[in-house]
Structures are given as structure tokens and as C-alpha cells.
Structure 1
Amino acid sequence: MTVPSQPIGVFDSGVGGLSVLRALRAELPYERFVYLADSAHAPYGERGDAYVGARTHAITQYLRAQHGIKALVVACNTATAAAIHEVRSRHADLPLVGLEPALKPALSATRTGRVGVIGTRGTLTSAKFAKLLASVAGQAEFVTQPCDGLAHAIERSVAQPLPSHPSATEIRALCTRHLRAMGRFGTKAGQMDTLVLGCTHYIFAADDLRALVGPQVRFIETGEPVARQTRRLLQSAGLLAKEPLGGAHAGPPPVQLLTTGALDPLQAAAQRWLELPADCCAQVVIP
């Protein structure tokens, strides 16, 4: 029997989904979380659907069997596009939230009617994204750009946060190349005044992206909408945790961060982006 005290599972191909976990913790302060970074098999965005689907199913099964999760947030646009429908059918009893590029929120934000969308090639060439794009056809012009290499560069940069590190230089170069290929950003007619960040990693390159598009272009990412949807699902299922474990005076609920790859990058990301201690991180093997 599922009860409110069980944790919420969150997973991504790497550390990018920590941006979603950050939003989830802000929206759901009394919940326990188990986050899994499948870093040994990243990046998902440059692999085929069959591979990503197999990993998604293996991780879902692991989180259910080993951690007894009460809900799952697939904090990865590529995994959502490749596998979310099959996961729903196999785990019909599990509240499930996936990600997709936030095209509909972008419609409300744009004033010029031109919206840029950046994401992995796996996300932007998927049938799921094509269906999403078709659903907003005629309401705005969407300029899409697969950002090959960017998520992987951000992943590699985590353990080396110094701006002078080669990975930081690579991130700036990739952002420059991909955004320049899209056209002009700005608030004038014909320019893109809104940029959808269609990969959870990209918010961690926000400073580089902002330097390229200017201060008036609005960024749209998915962490907060996903957190609100997770709250709604838990409430409707009667599974929302209403107070911290140990009572109202207890500290924040525990968070477990797991990785199938090297431990150091996850520990560095936890400290840098979530202010969590290194000892909340562990390495696991998921065949």
C-alpha cells in the first residue's frame, strides 16, 4: 500500500534534472526525494529511442523495487519523448510526470510571435515533439535548434566550476554556435523575444545564453510547471506529505542523490546547485 511518507523518485540522464529537483523541493517542502543521474549512460539526447526506453524502464523498476517510490518525475525531455507512454502503460498505478519543451507557456510570453526552442536532437526530432509542435501550429513561429554537445559539456563542467576551465569555454562556444544559427533575438518585429530551454541541463548555462540573446529575451524552462503538476497529482491521489518527518520542528526531509557514473560530479553539483552535502550522494549499478 502506498503512503504519503514514501519518497518521490526523480531521474535524468545526468545532473541536469537537478534543476527540476530544485523546483520540486521548493514546491513540496515536506517530501522525501530520491534522485538518480544515469550518468554512466549519458547523454540520452544523442542516443536512439530504443536505448533510452530501455534505460527508462530499468531505472523505473529500480526506483520502485529498491526505494519504494510513490511517484516518478522523469526529469529528462529525451526520456519523456522516447518512453513516457510505455512507462505509463507498464506502471499504471504510479503517478507519473514527464517533461516536454514549454511551448504553450511560451505562447503566453511572446509579444513578437517568434519563439526560439533549444533542445537535444533526440527531443526535437521525436514524434512526441512533432505532435506538440503541431498542437500550437499557427499561434506563433517556433524556431527550433538541436544543440548537439551542449548538455554533455554542461555535464562535464560540473566538477570544474572555474570559468577558465576548458569545459566552460566549450559551453560558451557551443551556445554561441547554436544560437547564432537560429537568427536574431530581441523585442523588435521579426525577432525572437522568448527562448524555450528544452533540456534540463540548459538552465545551468543561463549566463552564457543570456549574454548572447540580451536582457529582454524571456527564458522559459519546465522546473516550476513540473513541480506544480506533481503537487496536483499527489493531492488527487491522497499522497501529499503534509508535514516534515518528525513533526513541524524537524529539519528538511532527507534527499538521496544517486548516480550510475562517477560520484565526484554529482557531489559537486549537489553542493553547487542545491547546497546539499556530499554524503547525501551514492553510486549505484543499474544493468
Structure 2
Amino acid sequence: MADRPIGVFDSGVGGLTVLRALRSALPDERFIYLGDTARLPYGTKSGETVTRYAEQAARVLVGRGIKLLVVACNTASSVALGHLAAVFAPLPVIGVIEPGAAAACGASVSGQIGVIATEGTVRGGAYERAIRAVRPAAEVVSIACQLFVALAEEGWVSGPVAEAVAQRYLANVVGERPALDCLVLGCTHFPVLRQAIAAAVGPRVRLVDSAETTAEVVVECLLRSDLRAGHRTRGQDGAGQAGVRFLATDAPARFARVGAVFLGEAIAPEDVELVDL
């Protein structure tokens, strides 16, 4: 079991920010990443639809013999995590909501925490519940920032368009809450827009990205379950990228081009396998 890969899925390429953190924390592990690019975004869809999509994506990864599943999609984590854990038990299933909430609780001094996410994540209220489970007195304000997903997918992560959208979403909210000192980037697409978001909220608000915290939780789970891989020579497992196989449900060439922004390195289009869910 320890030699099996870790499965990671998202509605598109945003989850590659989580994969990036996982690879950094676990250099000896192999990964399979699936981006459901044919059906993104998940954030505007009903909880029932997202749950169905998430189970279909997870089944593809489980069929590839994974040892652990990371749901690198905030919307799917917010509505489908419990369902996936029950359906695929005893496979460990880890989402990004609880690690992000824990990081926010640790980062905020005032206890006033903002969450920016997709419509689906905000509607489900998962971040508010997770934050208050750790810090009951916390005051949480959630803002749906759906256009950030489109900007990230188009690669418009800086410049006047990104800055104007961030200002429209965030400037008034932060201005009306002077004690708000922490903002959770509650969608895996949002970290690549960090510069524009930071400019909109100002230096007093700390930005929290759940990717690194999620990687820490995965490390703990592997150690606890005795599933940590032993040392291996990276790049000698048949994957095009060192230790990673990429799957996409549509447009592999676009996945490779846009995904490079999120992963922080080039992805060869021929290394992206087209799959049908």
C-alpha cells in the first residue's frame, strides 16, 4: 500500500496549488491529479450535482490504485467530503476546508475572519462551521467571488482587470470591518490572484492559503496509517512529470498551458491524459 500513489482531484487546474504543496512536503511520493475541466466550475452548481461529479472523479482515481484521496476543491470539500469518505472507506479522504479553517484561526488575532470562495462553498457554510468548531467566538464573513475563478482559468492573475475585480469584491467589505485581520483564500484558484487580493484588502489583513496546511495533514495521515512511501528516485516511475500523472476530462493542451501557472512549472501537453468520467 505504501508504494501506491496519492490521488488528487479538482474541478480544474486550481488544485494544482495543493499538488504543488504536496510535492514539496512529500518528495518521495507519487501522485495522480485529475482536473474535471469538462464540467468546471463546480462553484455555481447544486450540492447534489457537485457530489455526483466528485464521486465520479474519485472513482477514476480509486480505479488507478491510490492509497489516499485529497479533495483539492473547496466546493467539493464543503458538500461531498463526508459522502466520499463513506463511499470509499477505508480509503483516507482529506479535504481542504478544515486545514484552511485551522490555519485561519491560528493566524487571526481579533477573531474576525473573512472567507472568499465560490458561490457553492459560501452557500454551504462549511468554512464558518469549521472555523467556529476551532474558535467558537470567531466572527466570520463570507464573500462569493466567482469571477476570480474565470480570471485564474484565463491566466489574468495580475494587472488592471484582476485588480478592479478584487477591489469591487473586497474593498468595501474590509473597510466596513476594521478589526478583520485574516482572509481565507477559500478556493484553490485564488492563490494565483494573491497580489491583486492583497492590494484590495491592504497590509493589515493576512491571507491564508489552505494548500500548505492540507499538505501537513496529509503527511500526518500517511505517518499515522503507516502509508508513507520510502525513498525513491524521482522521475523513474513512468510519469511524464517527476512523480505525477495528469488526467483531464477536456482540453489537455489548455490544461497544460493554464496549469503551469498554478503548478509553478511547465506541463507538457503530451503528459496530460484525456479521461471520460
Q: TM-score, normalised by structure 2?
A: 0.88
Corresponding pairs, count: 272
Partner of 2:215: 227
Matching of residue 190 in structure 1 with residue 190 in structure 2? no
1:13 to partner: Cα distance: 0.6
- Structure 1, unaligned stretches of length 5 or more? none
Preserved contact between residue 119 and residue 145 of structure 2 (Cα < 8 Å): yes
Letter in 1 for 2:272: A
Q: What does residue range 48-87 of structure 1 map to in structure 2 within 5 Å?
A: 48-65=46-63, 67-87=64-84
Q: TM-score, normalised by structure 1?
A: 0.85
1:226 to partner: Cα distance: 0.8
Preserved contact between residue 174 and residue 201 of structure 2 (Cα < 8 Å): no
> What CA distance in whole angstroms lies between the structure 2 residues aligned with 1:84 and 1:280?
31
> What CA distance in whole angstroms lies between the structure 2 residues aligned with 1:126 and 1:246?
39
3-state DSSP of counterpart to 2:89:
coil
Partner of 1:33: 31
> What CA distance in whole angstroms lies between the structure 2 residues aligned with 1:255 and 1:193?
37
Letter in 2 for 1:275: E
1:109 to partner: Cα distance: 1.7
For residues 43-68 of structure 1, give each alpha carbon's deviation from its aligned partner in whole angstroms, at most 9, with x where no partner exists: 10111111111111111111111x21
The 1:254–1:246 alpha-carbon spacing in structure 2 relative to 1, beyond 3 Å, is closer
Preserved contact between residue 113 and residue 180 of structure 2 (Cα < 8 Å): yes
1:72 to partner: Cα distance: 0.7
1:122 pairs with 102, 120, 123, which one? Answer: 120
Preserved contact between residue 84 and residue 98 of structure 1 (Cα < 8 Å): yes
Task: Give the ranges of 4+ consecutive aligned residues of structure 1 lying more than 6 Å apart after TM superposition.
Answer: none
> What CA distance in whole angstroms lies between the structure 1 residues aligned with 2:114 and 2:175?
10
1:200 pairs with 171, 180, 188, which one? Answer: 188
> What CA distance in whole angstroms lies between the structure 2 residues aligned with 1:170 and 1:181?
18
Letter in 2 for 1:284: L
Deviates more, 1:136-145 or 1:16-25: 136-145
> What CA distance in whole angstroms lies between the structure 2 residues aligned with 1:127 and 1:205?
23
Preserved contact between residue 248 and residue 273 of structure 2 (Cα < 8 Å): yes
> What CA distance in whole angstroms lies between the structure 1 residues aligned with 2:82 and 2:36?
20
3-state DSSP of counterpart to 1:182:
helix
> What CA distance in whole angstroms lies between the structure 2 residues aligned with 1:247 and 1:78?
32
> What CA distance in whole angstroms lies between the structure 2 residues aligned with 1:57 and 1:221?
25
1:245 to partner: Cα distance: 4.0
Partner of 2:274: 284
Preserved contact between residue 107 and residue 139 of structure 1 (Cα < 8 Å): no
Letter in 2 for 1:57: E
3-state DSSP of counterpart to 1:46:
coil
Preserved contact between residue 7 and residue 68 of structure 2 (Cα < 8 Å): yes
3-state DSSP of counterpart to 2:113:
strand
Identity %: 34
Matching of residue 110 in structure 1 with residue 100 in structure 2? no
Partner of 1:91: 88
1:209 to partner: Cα distance: 0.7
Preserved contact between residue 184 and residue 191 of structure 1 (Cα < 8 Å): no
Letter in 2 for 1:144: S
1:280 to partner: Cα distance: 6.2
For residues 122-149 of structure 1, give each alpha carbon's deviation from its aligned partner in whole angstroms, at most 9, with x where no partner exists: 1111153453254356523222111122
1:9 to partner: Cα distance: 0.6
The 1:264–1:224 alpha-carbon spacing in structure 2 relative to 1, beyond 3 Å, is same
The 1:176–1:4 alpha-carbon spacing in structure 2 relative to 1, beyond 3 Å, is same
> What CA distance in whole angstroms lies between the structure 2 residues aligned with 1:233 and 1:47?
31
1:6 to partner: Cα distance: 1.3
> What CA distance in whole angstroms lies between the structure 2 residues aligned with 1:225 and 1:49?
25
Preserved contact between residue 95 and residue 234 of structure 1 (Cα < 8 Å): no
For residues 5-51 of structure 1, give each alpha carbon's deviation from its aligned partner in whole angstroms, at most 9, with x where no partner exists: 21111010111101100110011010011111111100101111111
1:256 to partner: Cα distance: 1.3
Partner of 2:254: 265
For residues 139-188 of structure 1, give each alpha carbon's deviation from its aligned partner in whole angstroms, at most 9, with x where no partner exists: 2322211112221221122xx77x5xxxx654333211110241328xxx
> What CA distance in whole angstroms lies between the structure 1 residues aligned with 2:187 and 2:151?
13
3-state DSSP of counterpart to 1:72:
strand
Partner of 2:146: 148
Q: CA RMSD in A?
A: 2.6
Letter in 1 for 2:81: I
3-state DSSP of counterpart to 1:125:
helix
